Chains A and B, each alone.
Chain A
């Protein structure tokens, strides 16, 4: 009898654990399938011409060069707008902010910014940057919108980077008579920089992949030339992919998966770069 109860409990455990393994498999296998499927089906479209030429015949022929350039500009714009803000906000929250209602309010705002839907950021960008500030449907408006969307992540990552700088560094610097800002500028910033850059790279990666906001604030499907100023409209990979897949009849599947592959490579390589830097920073800190 005793043996029977034990075996029933054992059976329950085995069944339960198999279900957990099954859940894990259902979560992970489709991800690998998606990645492999896109690589296999998109690789056929890749060619020197595809990557370096402008599209023709409503995107059915030619390449996606202007979309790659547009996405590159968007990432650059996001970098320019998020890096300084991330650095300074991270410094404020760790070095200056006290544990009071204001800091709690800031933390609450960061948390909620992260949850605002991307299309809402799009409307925000349309109302503020495109119309009220009269930037028009442009690279500038789109970069600002994407930087706003990434703000929560930029600040969170950079705050973590600044917190991780050992206390002794601050104390040592202050002890030799520097002001607080001098300590921050010459001691804390250089130490925290790799971590801060991680956040910015993640912001750029997200800027490269976002579609909904740029759909609202200025992406175009086909443009006659490359943008020459921040006030120009632009093409971008995710929007190009969306229009090609959803709105161009008779688009070849190979081209669609090819665009998806290029987009995936851009986004995931920047993600991996961020992870790589994070690992390096940790190793250096624990190594020393």
Chain B
């Protein structure tokens, strides 16, 4: 057994346990220290992942795959977690009662995501998925003083359990028809039986829930709105990326569905997700709900990359996941700061933000432009990679829908920017930005701008990762 394949996960599990022990032995007044310890640990984990590039092998009877693809995805999760902790530290410290478990649960959620990226069979995948989801159930309901948070937690628990049940049923059908749980040994497409197809459809529905694709998206606006904002950021970014990481493994690692059917079902999902996500985002008045619908739409764009099902498409998915993670967490970081200062998450409270805190105003604008895919922000490059992958195969309509919907999305993204730069502030008092938050938003800003102008830094890495996924 080659334990080097598991070194990131072992380190993460150890780190989570140590964090829990630390929270037990220190008093309740030592919370700040715990946040710093979490950051230090996450940075070490990020460094460890860099040593894992180029290993490209599987182990443990094929149930575990460590290729560059998995490593890249793990870095997306870790970077998202680092940014969320930086931006959310003070927000979490404001909670009444004990906030120690918050970091511990975040680390264990991270562990689950890592497992999802590396899973080589259905059982490893499911266990990892549940590790992540159960941590999130608690995190979403974490603000004990808020009824909305409790409601969101309960909704997420019930709907999440339902979607897990659908996934599990789908897995049992796939196993029954294929006779194996290993993705690599799934039968070739020519012998796909109806039972296998049914199982695959159930898997699509279950994962569709996790990535919040239409028509399985109903949960996300309510839960994003009710959850504590740092959790919303983590949920919208890392949990979604993990869902995609697992989806790619299941459907491209060993395609149980015939290509024609496959393309059809994913194409329809991608199209309606892009259309409905973007259209419903327009009338939203709450920033968290608006970002929830925007993240639904973003899932639609990423699904187009999945639809391409070739290295170029996977490259698009990987690149866009990273860009989306950074820009979305950047936007949510600003929401966290404004929410702490004003106690509201209405778009209207962003009025005149540039007078109150120019840094937050600029970061919000840049991140929203990146999400909208306006050059020269990184989001444009990401969308370019996603849509060019499918257009190279001679299929133009998904890209067409993507372009039109991106144009529509500019409207609601820029509406927030308009409020920020045009309106007069109701309360001209400047908003304080503490060091952690400053670091998080500046990092998001820098990455979004630099990768927009010079994407090769990341796209070389993601292309290598995408090739490793197909064993090239």
A and B from one complex: no
